[in-house]
Structure 1
Amino acid sequence: MSSESSESSDLLILLQTAKLKGRPSEADLLAAGGLDAAATVAALVDSGALDRAGSRLKLTPPGRAELDRLLAAERATVDQEALKGVYHEAFDALNTTFKQLVTDWQLIDGTRPNDHSDTAYDAAIVFRLGELHQQLVPLLDRLVGFASRLSGYRERFGAALCKVRAGDHSWLARPMVDSYHTVWFELHEELIGLSGLSRAQEAAAGRAE
Protein backbone atom coordinates (compact mmCIF):
# COMPACT_ATOMS: atom_id res chain seq x y z
CA MET A 1 0.00 0.00 0.00
CA SER A 2 1.38 3.42 -0.92
CA SER A 3 1.87 6.04 1.78
CA GLU A 4 -0.93 8.10 0.22
CA SER A 5 -3.43 5.22 0.23
CA SER A 6 -2.34 4.27 3.75
CA GLU A 7 -2.97 7.83 4.93
CA SER A 8 -6.41 7.83 3.29
CA SER A 9 -7.20 4.54 5.01
CA ASP A 10 -6.18 5.94 8.40
CA LEU A 11 -8.30 9.04 7.81
CA LEU A 12 -11.28 6.89 6.85
CA ILE A 13 -10.86 4.66 9.89
CA LEU A 14 -10.62 7.61 12.29
CA LEU A 15 -13.50 9.60 10.80
CA GLN A 16 -15.73 6.53 10.57
CA THR A 17 -14.94 5.57 14.16
CA ALA A 18 -15.77 9.10 15.30
CA LYS A 19 -19.09 8.86 13.48
CA LEU A 20 -19.98 5.45 14.89
CA LYS A 21 -19.00 6.30 18.46
CA GLY A 22 -20.50 9.78 18.57
CA ARG A 23 -18.14 11.54 20.96
CA PRO A 24 -15.20 9.26 21.74
CA SER A 25 -12.18 10.25 23.76
CA GLU A 26 -8.97 10.39 21.75
CA ALA A 27 -7.76 7.19 23.40
CA ASP A 28 -11.01 5.39 22.58
CA LEU A 29 -10.91 6.68 19.01
CA LEU A 30 -7.39 5.40 18.46
CA ALA A 31 -8.03 2.09 20.22
CA ALA A 32 -11.19 1.35 18.27
CA GLY A 33 -9.45 2.28 15.05
CA GLY A 34 -6.51 0.05 15.90
CA LEU A 35 -4.14 2.93 15.20
CA ASP A 36 -1.29 4.70 16.91
CA ALA A 37 -1.84 7.96 15.09
CA ALA A 38 -2.26 10.77 17.58
CA ALA A 39 -0.62 13.13 15.10
CA THR A 40 -3.30 12.24 12.54
CA VAL A 41 -6.02 13.03 15.07
CA ALA A 42 -4.37 16.38 15.79
CA ALA A 43 -4.22 17.09 12.04
CA LEU A 44 -7.94 16.28 11.70
CA VAL A 45 -8.72 18.70 14.53
CA ASP A 46 -6.53 21.39 12.93
CA SER A 47 -8.24 20.88 9.57
CA GLY A 48 -11.71 21.20 11.11
CA ALA A 49 -12.76 17.60 10.37
CA LEU A 50 -12.91 16.83 14.09
CA ASP A 51 -13.75 19.18 16.93
CA ARG A 52 -12.79 18.86 20.58
CA ALA A 53 -15.60 19.01 23.10
CA GLY A 54 -13.82 18.89 26.44
CA SER A 55 -12.07 15.54 26.58
CA ARG A 56 -14.14 14.23 23.69
CA LEU A 57 -13.95 14.47 19.92
CA LYS A 58 -16.81 14.85 17.49
CA LEU A 59 -17.19 14.78 13.74
CA THR A 60 -17.90 18.19 12.19
CA PRO A 61 -19.98 18.85 9.03
CA PRO A 62 -16.78 19.21 6.92
CA GLY A 63 -15.50 16.00 8.51
CA ARG A 64 -18.71 14.20 7.64
CA ALA A 65 -18.48 15.44 4.05
CA GLU A 66 -14.91 14.13 3.81
CA LEU A 67 -15.97 10.84 5.36
CA ASP A 68 -18.82 10.50 2.84
CA ARG A 69 -16.34 11.09 0.01
CA LEU A 70 -13.91 8.49 1.33
CA LEU A 71 -16.68 5.94 1.91
CA ALA A 72 -18.04 6.46 -1.61
CA ALA A 73 -14.56 5.92 -3.06
CA GLU A 74 -14.16 2.74 -1.01
CA ARG A 75 -17.64 1.48 -1.98
CA ALA A 76 -16.79 1.90 -5.67
CA THR A 77 -13.98 -0.65 -5.31
CA VAL A 78 -16.23 -3.32 -3.76
CA ASP A 79 -17.90 -6.18 -5.63
CA GLN A 80 -21.37 -5.28 -4.38
CA GLU A 81 -23.06 -8.46 -5.53
CA ALA A 82 -20.52 -10.60 -3.69
CA LEU A 83 -20.63 -8.43 -0.58
CA LYS A 84 -24.40 -8.43 -0.35
CA GLY A 85 -24.38 -12.20 -0.73
CA VAL A 86 -22.08 -12.51 2.30
CA TYR A 87 -23.93 -9.82 4.25
CA HIS A 88 -27.49 -10.97 3.60
CA GLU A 89 -26.75 -14.65 4.04
CA ALA A 90 -23.82 -15.36 6.36
CA PHE A 91 -23.93 -12.24 8.52
CA ASP A 92 -27.73 -12.05 8.71
CA ALA A 93 -27.90 -15.59 10.10
CA LEU A 94 -25.33 -14.79 12.79
CA ASN A 95 -27.03 -11.47 13.52
CA THR A 96 -30.30 -13.28 14.26
CA THR A 97 -28.46 -15.66 16.59
CA PHE A 98 -26.66 -12.81 18.35
CA LYS A 99 -29.84 -10.78 18.87
CA GLN A 100 -31.47 -13.79 20.54
CA LEU A 101 -28.38 -14.31 22.68
CA VAL A 102 -28.51 -10.70 23.92
CA THR A 103 -32.24 -11.01 24.59
CA ASP A 104 -31.63 -14.17 26.61
CA TRP A 105 -28.85 -12.39 28.50
CA GLN A 106 -31.18 -9.58 29.46
CA LEU A 107 -34.39 -11.57 30.01
CA ILE A 108 -35.07 -15.05 31.36
CA ASP A 109 -37.81 -16.83 29.41
CA GLY A 110 -38.24 -13.62 27.44
CA THR A 111 -40.15 -11.95 30.27
CA ARG A 112 -38.21 -11.82 33.54
CA PRO A 113 -35.21 -9.47 33.87
CA ASN A 114 -31.99 -11.39 34.38
CA ASP A 115 -30.50 -10.29 37.71
CA HIS A 116 -27.47 -12.50 36.98
CA SER A 117 -27.85 -14.41 40.23
CA ASP A 118 -28.09 -17.71 38.32
CA THR A 119 -24.46 -18.30 37.45
CA ALA A 120 -25.21 -21.48 35.50
CA TYR A 121 -27.67 -19.60 33.28
CA ASP A 122 -25.14 -16.84 32.59
CA ALA A 123 -22.35 -19.36 31.98
CA ALA A 124 -24.47 -21.10 29.35
CA ILE A 125 -24.93 -17.82 27.49
CA VAL A 126 -21.21 -17.04 27.67
CA PHE A 127 -20.58 -20.49 26.20
CA ARG A 128 -23.02 -19.71 23.37
CA LEU A 129 -21.17 -16.44 22.77
CA GLY A 130 -17.94 -18.39 22.36
CA GLU A 131 -19.60 -20.70 19.84
CA LEU A 132 -20.93 -17.69 17.93
CA HIS A 133 -17.47 -16.11 17.95
CA GLN A 134 -15.99 -19.22 16.35
CA GLN A 135 -18.43 -18.81 13.47
CA LEU A 136 -17.83 -15.06 13.25
CA VAL A 137 -14.03 -15.18 12.88
CA PRO A 138 -13.95 -16.78 9.40
CA LEU A 139 -16.71 -14.41 8.30
CA LEU A 140 -14.61 -11.44 9.44
CA ASP A 141 -11.74 -12.76 7.33
CA ARG A 142 -14.06 -12.79 4.31
CA LEU A 143 -15.25 -9.26 5.01
CA VAL A 144 -11.67 -7.97 5.21
CA GLY A 145 -11.35 -9.12 1.61
CA PHE A 146 -13.91 -6.46 0.68
CA ALA A 147 -12.46 -3.67 2.86
CA SER A 148 -9.08 -4.19 4.51
CA ARG A 149 -9.76 -1.54 7.17
CA LEU A 150 -12.29 -3.92 8.77
CA SER A 151 -9.38 -6.06 9.97
CA GLY A 152 -9.42 -4.36 13.38
CA TYR A 153 -12.80 -5.87 14.21
CA ARG A 154 -11.32 -9.30 14.83
CA GLU A 155 -9.13 -7.96 17.65
CA ARG A 156 -11.95 -5.88 19.12
CA PHE A 157 -14.37 -8.82 19.23
CA GLY A 158 -11.65 -11.02 20.70
CA ALA A 159 -10.81 -8.48 23.40
CA ALA A 160 -14.45 -8.16 24.45
CA LEU A 161 -14.90 -11.94 24.54
CA CYS A 162 -11.78 -12.35 26.69
CA LYS A 163 -13.15 -9.87 29.23
CA VAL A 164 -16.51 -11.65 29.32
CA ARG A 165 -14.84 -15.03 29.80
CA ALA A 166 -12.65 -13.56 32.55
CA GLY A 167 -15.79 -12.75 34.51
CA ASP A 168 -16.50 -9.11 33.59
CA HIS A 169 -19.86 -9.77 32.01
CA SER A 170 -20.53 -6.07 31.42
CA TRP A 171 -18.41 -6.51 28.28
CA LEU A 172 -21.12 -8.59 26.66
CA ALA A 173 -23.75 -5.90 26.11
CA ARG A 174 -22.79 -2.75 28.02
CA PRO A 175 -23.18 0.46 25.99
CA MET A 176 -20.51 3.19 25.82
CA VAL A 177 -17.62 0.70 25.96
CA ASP A 178 -16.24 -1.67 23.32
CA SER A 179 -18.47 -4.51 24.52
CA TYR A 180 -19.24 -7.38 22.17
CA HIS A 181 -22.62 -5.81 21.46
CA THR A 182 -21.10 -2.37 20.77
CA VAL A 183 -18.57 -3.82 18.34
CA TRP A 184 -21.29 -5.92 16.70
CA PHE A 185 -23.51 -2.87 16.20
CA GLU A 186 -20.62 -0.94 14.65
CA LEU A 187 -19.72 -3.79 12.30
CA HIS A 188 -23.36 -3.99 11.25
CA GLU A 189 -23.33 -0.26 10.50
CA GLU A 190 -20.16 -0.74 8.45
CA LEU A 191 -21.76 -3.46 6.35
CA ILE A 192 -24.91 -1.44 5.78
CA GLY A 193 -22.86 1.51 4.55
CA LEU A 194 -20.40 -0.57 2.53
CA SER A 195 -23.39 -2.15 0.75
CA GLY A 196 -24.79 1.29 -0.12
CA LEU A 197 -27.84 0.71 2.04
CA SER A 198 -29.39 2.60 4.96
CA ARG A 199 -30.49 1.43 8.39
CA ALA A 200 -34.07 2.44 7.49
CA GLN A 201 -33.96 0.10 4.49
CA GLU A 202 -32.53 -2.69 6.61
CA ALA A 203 -35.14 -2.13 9.32
CA ALA A 204 -37.87 -2.40 6.72
CA ALA A 205 -36.31 -5.66 5.56
CA GLY A 206 -36.18 -6.91 9.16
CA ARG A 207 -32.37 -6.98 9.28
CA ALA A 208 -31.66 -3.98 11.55
CA GLU A 209 -31.10 -4.56 15.26
Structure 2
Amino acid sequence: MIPHASELEDLALHGVRVLGFPTTARVAGRFGLDRDAVEEMLLDAEACGWVQRLSFGGSSGWSLTDAGRAEGERRLAAELDALGARDVVADVHARFRPLNRRFGAACTDWQLRPTRLDPLASNDHTDWRWDERVLRTLRSVGDGFTGLCGELSGRLARFGGYAGLYAAALRRVDAGERGWVDGHDRDSLHLVWIQFHEDLLATLGVERGTDP
Protein backbone atom coordinates (compact mmCIF):
# COMPACT_ATOMS: atom_id res chain seq x y z
CA MET A 1 0.00 0.00 0.00
CA ILE A 2 1.34 3.42 -0.98
CA PRO A 3 1.17 5.88 1.96
CA HIS A 4 -1.30 8.71 1.48
CA ALA A 5 0.30 12.11 0.83
CA SER A 6 -1.62 14.94 2.50
CA GLU A 7 -2.50 18.08 0.55
CA LEU A 8 0.04 20.91 0.60
CA GLU A 9 -2.32 23.40 2.26
CA ASP A 10 -3.18 20.84 4.94
CA LEU A 11 0.49 20.18 5.66
CA ALA A 12 1.30 23.88 5.88
CA LEU A 13 -1.41 24.45 8.48
CA HIS A 14 -0.65 21.22 10.32
CA GLY A 15 3.07 21.95 10.40
CA VAL A 16 2.48 25.18 12.30
CA ARG A 17 0.61 23.28 15.00
CA VAL A 18 2.99 20.35 15.31
CA LEU A 19 6.25 22.29 15.16
CA GLY A 20 5.13 25.18 17.35
CA PHE A 21 6.10 28.72 16.23
CA PRO A 22 8.06 27.53 13.16
CA THR A 23 9.47 29.52 10.28
CA THR A 24 8.23 28.80 6.78
CA ALA A 25 11.51 27.05 6.03
CA ARG A 26 11.08 24.74 9.02
CA VAL A 27 7.60 23.70 7.94
CA ALA A 28 8.81 23.09 4.40
CA GLY A 29 11.85 21.15 5.58
CA ARG A 30 9.84 18.93 7.91
CA PHE A 31 7.62 17.67 5.10
CA GLY A 32 10.05 17.97 2.19
CA LEU A 33 8.04 20.72 0.50
CA ASP A 34 8.96 23.72 -1.63
CA ARG A 35 9.52 26.72 0.64
CA ASP A 36 7.86 29.25 -1.68
CA ALA A 37 4.79 27.04 -2.03
CA VAL A 38 4.51 26.71 1.75
CA GLU A 39 4.90 30.47 2.17
CA GLU A 40 2.06 31.04 -0.29
CA MET A 41 -0.18 28.57 1.56
CA LEU A 42 0.57 30.19 4.92
CA LEU A 43 -0.14 33.67 3.57
CA ASP A 44 -3.49 32.39 2.31
CA ALA A 45 -4.12 30.86 5.75
CA GLU A 46 -3.20 34.17 7.36
CA ALA A 47 -5.79 35.94 5.18
CA CYS A 48 -8.37 33.42 6.43
CA GLY A 49 -7.43 34.15 10.05
CA TRP A 50 -6.01 30.69 10.66
CA VAL A 51 -2.38 31.64 11.34
CA GLN A 52 -0.46 34.76 12.25
CA ARG A 53 3.20 35.66 11.94
CA LEU A 54 4.64 36.84 15.23
CA SER A 55 7.99 38.25 16.32
CA PHE A 56 9.46 38.50 19.80
CA GLY A 57 12.80 38.00 21.50
CA GLY A 58 14.62 38.32 18.22
CA SER A 59 12.73 35.39 16.71
CA SER A 60 9.81 35.23 14.32
CA GLY A 61 7.53 32.43 13.22
CA TRP A 62 4.00 31.31 12.50
CA SER A 63 1.42 30.72 15.20
CA LEU A 64 -1.94 28.96 14.91
CA THR A 65 -5.10 30.82 15.90
CA ASP A 66 -8.05 29.10 17.57
CA ALA A 67 -9.87 29.19 14.24
CA GLY A 68 -6.84 27.69 12.54
CA ARG A 69 -6.63 24.92 15.10
CA ALA A 70 -10.28 24.04 14.49
CA GLU A 71 -9.83 24.19 10.72
CA GLY A 72 -6.75 21.98 10.89
CA GLU A 73 -8.56 19.36 12.94
CA ARG A 74 -11.52 19.45 10.54
CA ARG A 75 -9.21 18.81 7.60
CA LEU A 76 -7.35 16.00 9.35
CA ALA A 77 -10.61 14.34 10.41
CA ALA A 78 -11.92 14.47 6.84
CA GLU A 79 -8.67 12.99 5.54
CA LEU A 80 -8.71 10.22 8.14
CA ASP A 81 -12.29 9.24 7.46
CA ALA A 82 -11.81 9.34 3.69
CA LEU A 83 -8.94 6.88 4.07
CA GLY A 84 -10.83 4.69 6.53
CA ALA A 85 -7.79 4.91 8.80
CA ARG A 86 -9.33 6.23 12.02
CA ASP A 87 -9.26 2.85 13.78
CA VAL A 88 -5.61 2.35 12.82
CA VAL A 89 -4.54 5.70 14.25
CA ALA A 90 -6.69 5.24 17.38
CA ASP A 91 -5.07 1.84 17.98
CA VAL A 92 -1.59 3.33 17.66
CA HIS A 93 -2.58 6.09 20.07
CA ALA A 94 -3.78 3.55 22.62
CA ARG A 95 -0.46 1.68 22.44
CA PHE A 96 1.50 4.93 22.52
CA ARG A 97 0.01 6.00 25.85
CA PRO A 98 1.95 3.54 28.08
CA LEU A 99 5.13 4.37 26.16
CA ASN A 100 4.40 8.05 26.76
CA ARG A 101 4.15 7.48 30.51
CA ARG A 102 7.51 5.72 30.54
CA PHE A 103 9.08 8.44 28.41
CA GLY A 104 7.69 11.19 30.64
CA ALA A 105 9.02 9.49 33.77
CA ALA A 106 12.44 9.10 32.15
CA CYS A 107 12.55 12.78 31.19
CA THR A 108 11.66 13.73 34.77
CA ASP A 109 14.48 11.53 36.04
CA TRP A 110 16.84 13.18 33.56
CA GLN A 111 16.03 16.58 35.02
CA LEU A 112 15.65 15.62 38.70
CA ARG A 113 17.60 13.33 41.01
CA PRO A 114 15.90 13.28 44.43
CA THR A 115 18.01 13.23 47.57
CA ARG A 116 17.13 12.46 51.16
CA LEU A 117 16.91 16.17 51.89
CA ASP A 118 15.47 17.41 48.60
CA PRO A 119 13.01 15.29 46.61
CA LEU A 120 13.09 17.88 43.81
CA ALA A 121 16.86 18.24 43.55
CA SER A 122 18.13 18.94 40.05
CA ASN A 123 20.08 16.19 38.36
CA ASP A 124 23.65 17.42 38.09
CA HIS A 125 24.55 14.40 35.93
CA THR A 126 27.44 13.36 38.14
CA ASP A 127 25.86 9.97 38.90
CA TRP A 128 26.51 8.02 35.73
CA ARG A 129 24.54 5.01 36.96
CA TRP A 130 21.42 7.18 37.36
CA ASP A 131 21.85 8.74 33.93
CA GLU A 132 22.58 5.42 32.26
CA ARG A 133 19.39 3.93 33.70
CA VAL A 134 17.45 6.85 32.20
CA LEU A 135 19.16 6.42 28.84
CA ARG A 136 18.36 2.70 28.80
CA THR A 137 14.69 3.62 29.19
CA LEU A 138 14.91 6.18 26.38
CA ARG A 139 16.47 3.55 24.11
CA SER A 140 13.84 1.00 25.08
CA VAL A 141 10.84 3.25 24.46
CA GLY A 142 12.53 4.32 21.23
CA ASP A 143 12.21 0.76 19.92
CA GLY A 144 8.44 0.79 20.50
CA PHE A 145 8.20 4.33 19.16
CA THR A 146 9.91 3.30 15.92
CA GLY A 147 7.42 0.51 15.42
CA LEU A 148 4.41 2.77 15.94
CA CYS A 149 5.84 5.40 13.61
CA GLY A 150 6.30 2.73 10.95
CA GLU A 151 2.68 1.63 11.22
CA LEU A 152 1.40 5.18 10.83
CA SER A 153 3.76 6.27 8.06
CA GLY A 154 2.66 3.20 6.11
CA ARG A 155 -0.80 4.77 5.89
CA LEU A 156 -0.11 8.51 6.20
CA ALA A 157 3.13 9.77 4.71
CA ARG A 158 3.21 12.83 6.98
CA PHE A 159 4.06 10.58 9.94
CA GLY A 160 7.33 9.67 8.26
CA GLY A 161 10.47 11.18 9.73
CA TYR A 162 9.75 10.98 13.45
CA ALA A 163 11.53 7.66 13.94
CA GLY A 164 14.57 8.84 12.02
CA LEU A 165 14.78 12.08 14.00
CA TYR A 166 14.52 10.18 17.30
CA ALA A 167 17.23 7.75 16.23
CA ALA A 168 19.49 10.59 15.09
CA ALA A 169 19.06 12.40 18.42
CA LEU A 170 19.78 9.19 20.33
CA ARG A 171 23.02 8.73 18.40
CA ARG A 172 24.07 12.25 19.43
CA VAL A 173 23.22 11.45 23.05
CA ASP A 174 25.21 8.21 22.94
CA ALA A 175 28.14 10.19 21.53
CA GLY A 176 28.12 12.31 24.68
CA GLU A 177 26.06 15.27 23.46
CA ARG A 178 23.55 15.15 26.30
CA GLY A 179 21.72 18.31 25.21
CA TRP A 180 20.04 16.11 22.62
CA VAL A 181 17.94 14.49 25.35
CA ASP A 182 15.71 17.48 26.08
CA GLY A 183 17.06 20.55 24.28
CA HIS A 184 14.39 22.81 22.80
CA ASP A 185 16.67 24.41 20.21
CA ARG A 186 17.14 21.21 18.21
CA ASP A 187 15.32 18.03 17.21
CA SER A 188 16.01 16.42 20.58
CA LEU A 189 14.43 13.22 21.87
CA HIS A 190 11.96 15.22 23.91
CA LEU A 191 11.03 17.65 21.14
CA VAL A 192 10.51 14.91 18.54
CA TRP A 193 8.41 12.94 21.01
CA ILE A 194 6.07 15.80 21.90
CA GLN A 195 5.68 16.69 18.21
CA PHE A 196 4.64 13.13 17.42
CA HIS A 197 2.21 13.19 20.35
CA GLU A 198 0.74 16.47 19.12
CA ASP A 199 0.42 14.98 15.63
CA LEU A 200 -1.59 12.07 17.06
CA LEU A 201 -3.82 14.35 19.12
CA ALA A 202 -4.48 16.68 16.19
CA THR A 203 -5.24 13.77 13.87
CA LEU A 204 -7.77 12.26 16.28
CA GLY A 205 -9.13 15.58 17.55
CA VAL A 206 -8.11 14.79 21.14
CA GLU A 207 -7.34 17.60 23.59
CA ARG A 208 -3.87 17.41 25.13
CA GLY A 209 -4.11 16.31 28.76
CA THR A 210 -7.22 14.23 28.23
CA ASP A 211 -5.30 11.09 27.23
CA PRO A 212 -3.41 10.32 30.48
Instruction: Give the TM-score normalised by the residue count of structure 1.
Output: 0.78
In structure 2, stretches of 5+ residues that fail to align are: none
In structure 1, stretches of 5+ residues that fail to align are: none
The separation in 1 between residues aligned to 2:86 and 2:64, in whole angstroms, is 29
- In 2 relative to 1, CA 11–85 (structure 1 residues): closer, same or farther, beyond 3 Å? same
Match of 1:34 among 31, 35, 40: 31
Higher relative contact order (CA 8 A, sep 6+): 2
Residues 126-145 of structure 1 mapped to structure 2, 5 A cutoff:
126-145=135-154
The separation in 2 between residues aligned to 1:7 and 1:190, in whole angstroms, is 13
Instruction: Judge conservation of contact 2:12–2:41 (CA < 8 Å) in 1.
Output: no
Match of 2:188 among 179, 187, 193: 179
Instruction: Give the TM-score normalised by the residue count of structure 2.
Output: 0.77
Matched length: 197
The separation in 2 between residues aligned to 1:114 and 1:169, in whole angstroms, is 13
Residues 1-209 of structure 1 mapped to structure 2, 5 A cutoff:
6=5, 8=7, 10-31=8-29, 33-49=30-46, 51-53=52-54, 56-59=60-63, 61=65, 64=69, 66-76=71-81, 77-88=83-94, 90-109=95-114, 111-202=120-211, 207=212
Identical-residue share of aligned pairs (%): 28
RMSD: 2.8
Letter in 2 for 1:41: V
The separation in 1 between residues aligned to 2:97 and 2:45, in whole angstroms, is 37
The separation in 2 between residues aligned to 1:97 and 1:72, in whole angstroms, is 28
- In 2 relative to 1, CA 114–60 (structure 1 residues): closer, same or farther, beyond 3 Å? closer
